[in-house]
Structure formats: C-alpha cells, structure tokens
Amino acid sequence: MTDDLKNLEKSVEDLVHLSERLAEENQALRKSRESLMKENAQHQEKSRVVHTRLKTIVGRLQDSGLA
C-alpha cells in the first residue's frame, strides 16, 4: 500500500510540474501572439499606405498620358 501511495504522489507531482510548465509555455505563446498581431497590424497599415500612394502615382501617370 505504501508503494501505491508513493507512486500516486509521484504521479501527482509530475502532473503539477507539467501543468506549471504548460502554463508558462501558454503565457509565452500568448505574449508572442500579441506581439505578432501588433506587427501584423503595422504591416497591414504600411501596405494600405503603399497601395494608396501607388494608386495616386498610377492616376497621375494616366492623367499625363505616360501610362
């Protein structure tokens, strides 16, 4: 019976450590996700600005008869 109890205690300790490790990993992943989402939003805004500028340039070229 004592061995069974020790085995159970060991299993519970292992699960606690695993749970703690997974919680830390989850937190790191959430932080990384947040950073990547901000970076993605910045890239989307830059892309929108470039798109607008290119449309303006193409419009000017068409108006001047160069395109």
pLDDT (0 to 100) of residue 34: 99
The answer, yes or no, to whether residue 65 has pLDDT greater than 90, is: no
CA dist 12 to 3, 4, 6, Å? 14, 12, 10
pLDDT in tens, 17-54: 999 999 999 999 999 999 999 999 999 999 999 999 99
Nearest-Å Rg of the Cα atoms of the chain is 28
Instruction: Give the helix ranges, DSSP H, for the chain.
Output: 2-64
Determine the residue type at 53. R
For the chain, the domain total comes to 1
Please give the pLDDT value at position 1: 74
Residue 67 has pLDDT above 90, yes or no: no
Range of the domain at 50: 1-67
